């Protein structure tokens, strides 16, 4: 094998290896950006029980970081009647619970702020009543601005990966044709 052919062979192998790595990266799904979303609560949003709750429990879709995840419960006048944090007794770390002291009928608002295990912060609020005669407002949610660098979307990665695979195929075909 001549020196020129050996160099061509090494270049071809390098291109094929790069294309294989690109194809693997493109085939893998983009990392899921976890958003810890409120799945359920006790009392439920909009509920209006006849018995005053003594605890509030929030269940989320993702694992939460205990530092930075909490909630407060306030009455219609804005007075805090309870608060809660991540329940460390739950293995999945996706539940927050806390005690509340509710004596007067009315509407109570739970405001929560959570940080998912990947660091994504979000929050929201919902209301429930205790023998409330007034309307109970709906739920709201918000996400804090994402300060991480934006990741390219999966279609771009797939296109780039397949272009590299095609390029490697052309180079490989040329290599075989030169033999």
Same domain, 8 and 89: no
| 75: CB partners within 8 A, 6+ apart | 81, 102, 104, 106, 107, 108
Give me the CATH number covering residue 125. 2.60.40.1220
What are 93's strand-pairing partners? none
Same domain, 12 and 94: no
Same domain, 54 and 129: yes
pLDDT at 105: 96
* Mean confidence (pLDDT) of the chain: 80
Q: Which one has a higher pLDDT value, 23 or 128?
A: 128
Same domain, 21 and 109: no
Give 1-60 pLDDT, tens digit per residue: 676 766 656 666 665 566 556 555 555 544 445 578 999 999 999 999 999 999 999 999
Give 63-78 pLDDT, tens digit per residue: 999 999 999 999 999 9
Same domain, 96 and 137: yes
pLDDT at 9: 61
Residue-number span of the structural domain to which 45 is assigned: 38-143
Same domain, 45 and 115: yes
Same domain, 48 and 73: yes
pTM comes to: 0.63
| Number of independent structural domains in the chain | 2
Same domain, 67 and 123: yes
135 vs 75, 77, 127, CA distance in Å? 14, 15, 10
Same domain, 43 and 73: yes
Q: Which among 18, 127, 115 has a CA at the least distance from the CA of 60?
A: 115
Give 168-178 pLDDT, tens digit per residue: 777 666 666 66
């Amino acid at each position: 094998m001549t020196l020129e052919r050996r160099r061509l062979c090494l270049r071809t192998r390098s291109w094929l290896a790069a294309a294989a790595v690109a194809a693997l990266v493109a085939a893998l799904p983009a990392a899921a950006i976890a958003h810890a979303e409120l799945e359920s609560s006790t009392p439920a949003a909009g509920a209006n029980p006849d018995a005053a709750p003594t605890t509030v429990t929030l269940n989320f879709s993702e694992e939460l970081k205990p530092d930075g995840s909490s909630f407060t419960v306030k009455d219609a006048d804005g007075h805090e009647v309870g608060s809660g944090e991540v329940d460390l007794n739950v293995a999945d770390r996706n539940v927050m619970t806390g005690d509340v002291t509710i004596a007067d009928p009315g509407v109570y608002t739970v405001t929560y702020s959570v940080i998912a295990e990947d660091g994504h912060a979000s929050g929201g609020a919902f209301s429930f009543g205790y023998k409330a005669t007034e309307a109970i407002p709906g739920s709201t949610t918000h996400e804090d601005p994402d300060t991480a660098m934006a990741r390219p979307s999966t279609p771009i990665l797939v296109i780039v990966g397949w272009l590299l695979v095609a390029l490697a195929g052309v180079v490989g075909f040329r290599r075989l044709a030169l033999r």
